[in-house]
A and B are shown apart, each in its own frame.
Chain A
Amino acid sequence: MAPIVYYAFTLLFFFAAYSVLGWGLNLQFGEAGILNFAYIGFVAIGAYITGVTSSGPPPAGSGESYVLGASLPFPLGLLAGGVASCLLAVLVAFIAFRRLRSDYLAMVLISISLVMYDVINNYVPLFDGADGLNSVPMPLSGTFNLDANGFLIFFALLSVGIGAVMWLVMSRITRSPLGRTLRAIRDDPDVVSALGKNVFRYQLTAMLIGAFYAGIGGGLIVEFASSFNTSAWLPAETFIIFAALIIGGLGNNLGVMMGAFVVPVLFTQLPKFIPDIPGHPGLILNLEGAVIGLLLIVTMWFRPQGIIPERPRRPDRFLAAQAPPAPPGGIDADAAEGPPPAPAGATDAKTTG
């Protein structure tokens, strides 16, 4: 087959993987309002644990060294990555969540991801330091007797399948009472706790589910690429996923998918086709970050709700379906409008912090 076909399937894979990553962050940030600037750390833990639990002990003489070194069959390694990412979420939530307002939390989270990066990069026995994992086996390629090219197509399709299942689960979650409570917490945590909900527990739930999605997404990436190291999860990568969310449409799973297509796939692939400016090799690739940042700022100014905005929820329909006593529909009605441009001016902004 022509190389273009393999390229298309590679893009398809990244579209699926980034959609999974986007849904996870969307649940945390778009639905629950947790500004998780450490998201890429959760992705990385998922990827590393999937890698070390499926590639067996480090081959002798390769100079690689990492912990665990199990050889779990295909879906188990991936699930181990998801679970490891959840454990990290529990740890983070118990350290940082209880008493911090959102911007302190963001500072702590970004610190967590920077320190994780530093430690994993320097401490070689953990995940082989900066060299990372390089010999993650291609899952199921033995079972179906696939060569590298066949595996690429097979695994891209498999990832689309996994992505579809995760999409179904996530759309159930966001439609459920859990999703509704999370959106209410995002819009006003004080009101929700006044209604007797345990805000911390709901946020922890959102962190856990989101972290699981991050771990699975990371695991898929490591199994597809067969290798993973610290250059794959620079802190700026978190930003790429945030940008995908906001440009696609925060709080809307379809919008997130659209964002996953526009930002990580289109925007990080297109510059590779733009010819280099003579005398400045790599300039276009370097400017890619600036273009994504600029695009995000422009989108946030002119279309803060994203390409596909959050679906207006219909409190009247919801109330009709529920037997009395009716819950206060006002919370959902507010959520439906998305982020309104505040005409109130600077003084109002000060009171929100």
Chain B
Amino acid sequence: MHQFWLAVGFGLVTASVIAVAAVGLSLQFGITNYINFAYGDFMALGAYLTWELNAGAVHLNIWVAMIGGSLLVGVFAVIVNRVVLGPFARRFERVFYVLIVTFALSLIILSLINSIWGADVKRFNMSSETPLHIGPFLLTVDQLIVIGIGLALMVAIHLLLTVTRLGKSMRAMSDSTTLAMTSGIDTRLITTITWFLTGILAGLAGTVLGITSASITPSFGETFLFVIFAAVIVGGVGSVYGAILGAVMIGLVTEVSAVFINASYKLDTAFVVLILVLLFRPSGLFARVGRV
């Protein structure tokens, strides 16, 4: 039982990482209506930019570096959308063209990361701490901060979508771009802002993934992608709240499974959950008609 509660604690940490990533991917999908297969590489880029600010060229505190790195990914995402993905999505009616372009972007970003930072494992410069006992859990301060970041971001995104004009415009666009446009919403501006926000989320997700897994490699975002996809599909594609619930579920399942099976396969259990959901409820566990 002790082992189980420890695993639940780690599950909450993993869930926070997945939630940040999955919400970003879902928001992007809601606005653009295609899946960004380069999302894992956006995450890796965020981790490497943070590393550069934390242990590379500059030596900032990890959390300050994380904010800097994530903002840079946000800017990068806006540029990518403006220069590449936006024009392709407007020109080609068939969605697979854009999907292939995101796949190409993924290869480009991965090669660039490999060329700039090399293929060897990098680590953030942060003090190692002794874990704290909190109830039945055993977590480090950093892990608690990661959970806190996850919770704060989820609340912030909930408020963004329900209270602000920007969030309401985003929801309107995700329901129907044409209707949003005729209601006087500047869809291009909203798209740009969405890419900026989701780029930041990808950067944050990459960094917290690097913190929780204690190492960064160029392809670590890409190999984590199927876990995010699992959370997104389990929650219902395009639904932000579904993505959060899916993330919690996948996070708990993967970590608790490590109690019972070899820990090197723990992420693969996310895939098992994905297959079960596809077989019995292909639209996702929490899908509703109104998305985002």
Contacts and interface: CB of A to CB of B under 8 A. Distances in A.
A293 B35 contact: no
Nearest to B85: A297
A341 B91 contact: yes
Would you call the interface of chain A mostly helix, strand, loop, or mixed?
Answer: helix
Would you call the interface of chain B mostly helix, strand, loop, or mixed?
Answer: helix
Contacts of B104: 239, 243, 292-294, 296-297
Interface in B225-266: 225-226, 229-230, 232-233, 237, 262, 264-265
Interface string B70-108: 000000000000001001111111111101110111111
B226 A115 contact: yes
A32 to B, nearest CB: 12
B110 interface: yes
B100 A292 contact: no
Interface string A104-129: 10111011101100110011000000
Interface of B: 33-35, 37, 84, 87-97, 99-101, 103-108, 110-112, 114-115, 176-178, 181, 187, 219, 222-223, 225-226, 229-230, 232-233, 237, 262, 264-265, 267-268, 271, 274-275, 278-279, 282
Contacts of A304: 92, 97
Interface stretch (A63-71, A136-144, A154-162, A345-353): A345-353
Contacts of B35: 103, 106-107
Contacts of A290: 107-108, 111-112, 115
A349 B90 contact: yes
17 contacts: A35-B96, A102-B95, A107-B233, A111-B225, A114-B225, A123-B265, A236-B110, A287-B112, A288-B111, A290-B108, A293-B111, A304-B97, A346-B89, A346-B177, A348-B93, A349-B92, A352-B95
A349 B226 contact: no
A246 interface: yes
Interface residues of A, number: 56
Given A287-B111, A300-B97, A345-B90, A242 B103 contact: yes
Nearest to A113: B226
Nearest to B119: A286
